[in-house]
Amino acid sequence: MRMTILVTGGAGFIGGNFVLDWLAAHEETVVNLDKLTYAGNLQTLAGLRDNPRHLFVQGDIGDRALLAALLQQHRPRAVINFAAESHVDRSIHGPGDFIQTNIVGTFNLLESVRAYWQELPDAEQAAFRLLHVSTDEVYGTLGAADAPFSEQHRYEPNSPYSASKAASDHLVRAWHHTYGLPVLTTNCSNNYGPYHFPEKLIPLVILNALAGKTLPIYGDGQQVRDWLYVKDHCAAIRRVLAAGQLGETYNVGGWNEKTNLEVVHAICSLLDELRPRADGQPYAAQISYVQDRPGHDRRYAIDARKLERELGWKPAETFASGIRKTVQWYLDNDEWINGVSSGQYRDWLTTQYGA
């Protein structure tokens, strides 16, 4: 077996960061399969253009013929699955893509990987891993006094996105218990950091603030999320891949519960410091409140003690350190930002938040 891994969805936000970090830390080759939908961005991988250990292939995890060819040609020792439609708001407007990619696509990936794995020699079969990256949103919502989500929390998804991810998690579990496929699953809290597509809260607020636009807050802004710096998440995935127990699920969180309004005010304060408005006014003056989205979960929180106890991982960044790095990255990377702020993206903002 060659020292190669196959990463699906490796041009997206978390997948792209994972590929960059992996190649910086490992000698292994990465075969990177991405469909390049709106959130897939080759500019994220521009620094790897001449790297012979990065092999990019544009394609869909639902394409069984393509998957079979890649697996047979490159014979990876592991597959890490980031490929997913992942935005709640988009799932409300158009759930079909989420069903197709997150459920049907995961099924096709599992079947392709199973066929490949079953033909491996015994030693290579024993060493092989499929790691499926999922979300805490499959667990539903928490009350203010509820304990954070543990791996034993029952699934109660409330949006088309989270329901489709819950279904994909169940498929991965079933392929392990039915066929013996050597799988691992991670469920993460809200990620933030470099290369985040700007329809998500943190990059949206940064870019709207700099452009002098309103900073839209859903409802009362008191929705609580556990914020995880993306580089910490990538480190957790590497650790689970290296030492996780087969068939197990590991929750990955940042131990950083913040309301949406707290997050927006933190960004505004950093921008006041790092790039003050020309008129001397605070960026917080741009905050506006918009109608809450349907089925908006009130609180997510992750109990990541299993991952720390069993595999020795815990996040390196606090929210204060991670959000400062994130804001600075957006201030320093105009070229990347301009590349993703397309007409299609602007149309989406109008649809979601109004003019």
Task: Tell me how far apart the terminal alpha carbons of the chain are, to the nearest angstrom.
Answer: 54
Tokens for 156?
């109660």
What is the token pair recorded at 120? 């491996």
* Cα(88)–Cα(166) distance, integer angstroms: 13
161 is catalytic: yes
Catalytic, 97? Answer no
Selecting among 161, 218, 229, 353, the annotated active-site residue is 161
Q: Is 331 helix (H, G, I), strand (E, B) or coil?
A: helix
User: Does 111 qualify as catalytic in the annotation?
Assistant: no
Please answer whether residues 202 and 323 qualify as being in contact, where contact means their C-beta atoms are separated by less than 8 angstroms.
yes
Going by C-alpha positions, the residue among 112, 78, 124, 81 that lies closest to residue 241 is 78
Q: How far is the C-alpha of 315 from the C-alpha of 105, rounded, in Å? A: 31
C-alpha dihedral over 193, 229, 85, 112, to 10 degrees? 120
The whole-angstrom separation of Cα 304 and Cα 241 is 16
Catalytic residue selected from 89, 136, 257, 303: 136
Instruction: Exactly one of 60, 137, 232, 257 is catalytic; name it.
Output: 137
What residues contact 287, with CB distance under 8 A and at least 6 apart? Answer: 214, 215, 217, 264, 268
Burial call 235-268: b when 16+ CB within 10 Å, e when fewer: bbbbbbbeebeeebbbbbbbbbbbbbbbbbbbbb
Q: Which of 309, 264, 255 is nearest to 289 (CA)?
A: 264
Catalytically annotated residues: 136-137, 161
